[in-house]
Structure formats: structure tokens, C-alpha cells
Amino acid sequence: MTLTVDETTPTGASSGDLLVVDDLRTHFRVPAGVVKAVDGVSLSIARGRTLGVVGESGSGKTVLSRSIMGLNVASNAVTTGSVRYDGEELVGRTPRQMRELWGSEMAMVFQDPMTSLNPVVKVGRQLTEHMRKHLGIGKAEARERAIELLKSVRIPEAEQRFDNYPHEMSGGMRQRVCIAIALACGPKMLFADEPTTALDVTVQHQILNLLAQQQRERHMTMILVTHDLGVVATRADEIAVMYAGKVVEKAPTELLFSEMRHPYTQALLWSIPKTSQPKHTRLSAILGRPPDLISPPPGCSFAPRCPYAQPQCTEVEPTLRSEGNELHQFACHIPVGTPENKAAFDRNLAAGMPQTLVAAGKMAAREDEPMTPGLTVPSEVDQNVIVRTAHLEQQQLAAEERAEAEGRSL
Amino acid sequence: MAGTGKAHLRTGDDTLLAVEDLVVEFPAGGGRKVHAVSGISFDIKAGETLGLVGESGCGKSTTGKALLQLPRPTSGSVRLKNDDLTTLDGEAMRRKRTDIQMIFQDPISSLNPRRTIGHVVAEPLQVWGPHGDDAQWQKVSEMLDAVGIDPDVARNKRPHEFSGGQCQRISIARALVMEPELIICDEPVSALDVSVQAQILNLLEDLKAKYGLTLVFIAHDLAVVKNISDRIAVMYLGKMCELSESDELYANPAHPYTKLLMESHPEPNPHAEIDESIVALGELPSPINPPSGCRFRTRCDRATDVCAAEEPQMRAVDAEHFVACHHPLVDVREVAIG
């Protein structure tokens, strides 16, 4: 029960929360305008828990974790709002002040183990550098601790590996070194930003197990950022789904999968191929692309791609709210599973809205999938819909392209 | 795995591509060799999609390129219909390549950033014809349209003006203008977001039906491979471990490596069981000096002495399912089908 979040006051968080983020915004000034990469995110996470942050590229998930850690030091970045870590406000601190927290209180494991290590410095020195600084220990002791750490992240022949350069190691081994570096000064909070995206599935599995094991042993709190719902499904206690710089749905993991309320979460899950499906199962692609973060559309940013969108969705921006269970929050006017949602779907289907037809094709074709309760497709449209779906997907894309080109040329 | 043998090869007139004992080795200096692909055999019928799956370094991309004779394989044969590509001379092979096209992993870097889309897609036609701007443009616009890109908008734009998913569509259009019989897709969706990935996978299925294509689909994502493939070959360190009809492979994996891959695959299901005990497995052995016998034995929990001494041969598990393992996870018929 970590995701107790209140939209207006950060006091809604319980005292067990290590991190409370309230209305965090990170905007980047660029020549074309202001990119609202993170736009009003509030969440909290209790000690020892794992929060999964899921989103596609451009959803703001990486900028969010960097903003919390104060790593967006570019001169065009502006971070506002509040990040309270262990009761202390972090927003507004200078990098020099933040440096005391980096490594010893919070640490990050980055996506690409190939580039996040310095290629011309031996891994041993990269491991001991900040240990000596933060923990004030001597060279010999740092070496001893570093070798212990390399062993704890399961690097074989740790003594020899201490004197290796990064290029002498495989990708999986380098990511283990990155984890060892992050753990070196005993942080309470670990950010893992797509830690396994660049790795093979078998190595990914091992690294995720390693992270979970280290988290338990060291009582760490973890934020696991990923684009892969499969990675967080079994690894996170809670999940926050991000879209266009905002959290659109957050819930304890099981609840999110069993009763997803936001159409984007549903669309994301439906677009993933699963090994449990028979071959050649037609995937339900999400039509269109994520919105422009410089001038996002009015209202709900997912509305242009949403099969349930109604006029109000493009006018009024939905805020996070809950129905029944307080832990389950979603930002949608017409959440999945309500009679209004079904009515909206039927209306859009009758009007021939492309994304609705695609979703209908999906529903008609796939009865095995857990889908919106009570939502059925009128049988007379089934066959036509499925046949037309493929064509519509392409038409829609071509139309978008045209619209975009016109917009550009203006 | 790490097996050889040809029990899984089929006979029949509709075989488009037959690969036998394909070996690709690269010099590694000091007289040593990288054994990238070590004697694999498979066949593909016209209209079929074969998935090649395995970890990085298993030789799946090298296999894909060796089909195109880029580079020429060290030994073995690659028969496309009635021609053995490995015996064709340079000019004959150049002509033959129009029948096989390739789509690469990184859609943005596989398009020349300084050329317009109209030029990029038309380039194969400038070599092979039809000649003449109008005839070429007609063909190019037809293909761009087929992949969901508006030809008139895209014609004078350059690749940086398109998203990754759109660039991959353009790459597919470029492959299609030659009207190939076989397209080799080398990790075509692994650089894309999941929602875009679904669009591209659906597009490939549609184009396959529309133009009667045969695909070799190389990927590391098990769910993606299963979604698009009729048959799947699992590779490990230059050898083929298992080859099966897709649904059967996932229902009854026979090779311990296939099972390991499947257990490692994160399914978007909070109730999926995960084996947390695996924190470190042996690293992939070096392809310069691969293990004797079964190449997977150094990481296999079922390995015995026979695995080090003897290389397993492909054996039939079922009519459409073959495995190269001394200790498979399912019963194996002693007599090969065939």
C-alpha cells in the first residue's frame, strides 16, 4: 500500500513512505517551444517496496526518475514541484548539495551497460572511486569491499575482474558491474532505468533476479523503469503507467492487470504478443503516435488514439481519481469497465471510428483474452470489422502523415 | 543442442529455400577461427515464415546474411528453388539477389540520411529497371502505399523527418520494390516501441498474404517470433537445437535451452511463476573454442558424459518437431521420420 497518493496534498502519503513526489514537472526549453517531458506527476513509495514505471519512448519515464534524483542538470531544464526524500525537500537543491545523496542515499542503474562505464578506466577504480569519497576509506579497504561487491553480484574471478577494462567483459557482466557500483555506498533507494533492455532474455532474467535479491538483502526501495509490462508484472509491487508526461493509471500490480481502468493501459497490454497466444494472432496495434509534448492536444492526451473517446475527452483534461479502491487511480472520464464506457464504445463503433473498429476486431477475434467485462461486439459487425481492420490501420496512418505534412508546411 | 543432422528436412516441390550443412567461419588471428555457424540445415516452403531465435552470438544474423552470400559461407549449400547460390559466380549471384531482400534492425541507420525517400526506395529500380522516372515512381508509390506511407508526402522528405516505425515501413517498401520471393527480416521490430511493433508485425503479415512472400524472421523475443512464424528454429552458439512448428514448440519444448529461453521470457502476467533462483549462469562459451559434443552442455543441468563426448543429432519428437539433444525433455521416437 505504497501508492497512497493525493492529488492536492502530499500529506496523503503515510509516514512509511521513503519518497513522496508531488506535482513534479520537468520542462525543457527548446527552440520550438517548451517540451513538457514530465507534467504534474504525483506518487509515493513506501520503504522496501518496488514501484514499476511503465511507458513507451517519450512518455517521460526516464526524465521522471532523473528529475527525482536531480540529474537533469542541463541549463534548459526546469524542474518544479516537490520531491520529498525521507522528509527532506530535494527540488531546488544544487548539484553540489545533491552530490551528498548520490551514491550513499540514492543510486541509479542505467539502461546501457556499454556506455555507462568509462571505457578507459579499469572497473576496479570505477567501483572504488565514490566509495573512498563517500565512506572515507583507504585504497586497500576499498579494494577489499569492491571485490566483495563483485562477488555479491556474481562476477566470477572477482579479483582478476577488478583490474579489467569494461571492454573485456560481456554486456551482462558490465551491467552487473554497474549494479555493484550503484550498491557500493549502500543506497536506500535504487533507480533502475531500463536495466535489462540491452540484454538477452536469459541475462535479463538473471539481472532482475539479482536486483530483487539485493533489494531484499539490503532493504532497498526500488523504482524500476521499463517499457516492458512483462518485466514489471512479476517484479513490482505497484505500477504507474505513464503517457505523455503524466501518470495515467497506477495501482498495485495484480489489480492493474485484473481490473485495468485506463484505455491506454488496456491498449498497451493488447498490443504485446504473448507466448500463450497461438501463432499468427492478430495484434491490436495502437493507432497513431504519442502526442507532441510541446503542444499536447487539449483534454486527455490519449483521446486521439482512444477507442472510447467522446467529445468531453478532447475538452476537459481528466485528473487522477479512484472508484472504490483508493489504491487504484486512473485519469479517465470514461474508464474501462463502466456502462458509460460500453455506451461510448458502441457509439464510436456505429460512427466507424478507426481505432474503435480496430479494438472491435480485437475483441471479436479473441475471446480467450480477459477483456472489458460486459463489453460485447454486436454480432452483425464482427466479420466486416475484422476484414476492414487491417485496411483501416493503414488508411489512418496515411491520413495522419498527410495531416502532419500539411501542418509542417504551414 | 549444438546438434547436427537433417532428420528435420522435408521433401516436396514447394520448397523455396533449402540450406544444408551451412558453415560460416571468420578468421580470428593467430590461425584461430570464430565458429559463427557450424553446420545447420533447414528448409522453407513457399509462403512459410521461419523464425530464427536465440541469444546474441548464436549465429542467427550470420545465418541470415549467409543466405544472401554476404559473406559467402565457408561450406554448405543454399538452394533457392533450383539454384545453389554458393556455386554461382559474382555476376550470377548479383542477379539472383533481386529475389532475396533484407530488412535490418535499426530502421533509421539503414536509410541513407542524405537521400530523399523517393530516391531511397527507387534505388533498386535504377539498377534493375524498369527505367524511366514515371515507371519507377509508379512502382515506388504503389509500395509506399502498401506499407501505409503516403507516397506524395514522403517523396521529397528525408529519413530524419520520420519516426522509427515509419522508417521501418520505408525499409520494407524498399525491400518490396524488387518483388522478392524471400525477405530476410533481421530483428525488424526490436528497436521499436510495443505499440509500433504491433503495427509492423501486422503489416508484415498483411504484405505476406498480399504478395505471397516467404519470410525468414530473426529475433530474440520469443513472443514476437511465435506470433509471426509458422516454424521456429532455436539456435545456440552456431548450432541448431530444436526446430518445430510454432505452437507445438511452445506447448512442448524438448530442448533444455528452449525451456530456459521460455522461462526467462517475461510474460505480462502478474501470476506468472518466476524462478528466482537463477542469479548467474555460465557465460556464453567462446565461439572461437566451443565446447565439445553438445555446445550447450556447459550451461545445461541435464548434461552427462555423453554430452561432452558425442554431438547430438536431430531426432524427431513428432511429425513437425525435431530436437538435437541426448536428454530431451520429451520422449523421442527412435526412428527418424522421413
Asked if the model's pLDDT at residue A393 lies above 80, the reply is no
> Averaged over A338-350, what is the pLDDT?
90
Q: How far apart are CA A360 and CA B166, in angstroms?
A: 25
Chain A residues with CB under 8 Å of B269 CB are 230, 233-234, 257, 274, 276
Categorize the per-residue pLDDT at B333 as very low, low, confident or very high, splitting at 50, 70 and 90. low
The mean predicted confidence, pLDDT, of chain A is 83
pLDDT of residue B301: 86
Res. A391: pLDDT tops 70 = no
Q: What is the pLDDT of residue B13?
A: 78
The third-level CATH classification (topology) of the domain covering A1-93+100-105+189-271+292-333 is Rossmann fold (3.40.50)
Encoded amino acid at A85, one letter: Y
- Answer yes or no: is pLDDT of B337 > 80: no
- pLDDT higher than 70, residue B105: yes
Q: What is the mean pLDDT of residues A340-348?
A: 91
For residue B149, pLDDT over 80 is answered with yes
Q: Does A388 score more than 80 pLDDT?
A: no
pLDDT of residue A356 exceeding 60, the answer is yes
| Least confidently predicted of A136-140, A165-169, A323-327, A386-390 | A386-390
Q: Is the pLDDT of residue A371 over 50?
A: no
Cβ neighbours, 10 Å, residue A375 = 16
- CB < 8 Å to A233, chain B: 266-270, 272
Q: What homologous superfamily is domain B1-94+221-338 in, according to CATH?
A: P-loop containing nucleotide triphosphate hydrolases (3.40.50.300)
Contact criterion met (CB < 8 Å) for A233 and B272: yes
Q: At what angle do helices A354-365 and A263-271 cross, to 10 degrees?
A: 60
Residue A365 has pLDDT above 70, yes or no: no
Domain boundaries, chain B: 1-94+221-338
Q: Among the ranges A129-138, B2-11, B117-126, which has the highest mean pLDDT value?
A: B117-126
Q: Please check the confidence at residue A183 and state whether its pLDDT lies above 80.
A: yes
A114 and chain B in contact, CB less than 8 A: no
Mean pLDDT of B36-43: 93
Paired residues of B217 in beta bridges: B51, B185
What pLDDT is recorded for position B211?
A: 92
Report yes or no: A238 at the B interface, CB cutoff 8 Å: no
Would you state the pLDDT for residue A316? 93
- Which of A201, A209, A281 faces B276 most closely, judged by CB atoms? A209
Picking from B196, B230, B250, the nearest residue to A275 by CB comes out as: B250
| Sign of the alpha-carbon dihedral angle for A200, A203, A207, A208 | positive
Residue B338 pLDDT exceeds 90? no
Name the residue with higher pLDDT: B284 or A104. Answer: A104
Phi/psi at A208 (5° precision): -65, -40
* Distance from chain centroid for Cα B205: 16
C-alpha cell belonging to residue B330: 520429451
Q: Where are the domains of chain A?
A: 1-93+100-105+189-271+292-333, 110-186, 337-410
Which of B55, B226, B230 has its CB closest to that of A202?
A: B55
Whether A72 and chain B come into contact, CB under 8 Å, resolves to no
Rounded CA-CA distance A304/A318 in Å is 14
What is the predicted ipTM?
0.85
What is the rounded CA–CA span in Å between residue A1 and residue A22?
Answer: 17
* Backbone torsions φ then ψ of A386, nearest 5 degrees: -65, -40
Of A205, A282, A286, the CB nearest to B264: A205
Supply the pLDDT for residue B325: 93
Chain B CB contacts of A154 under 8 Å are 279-280
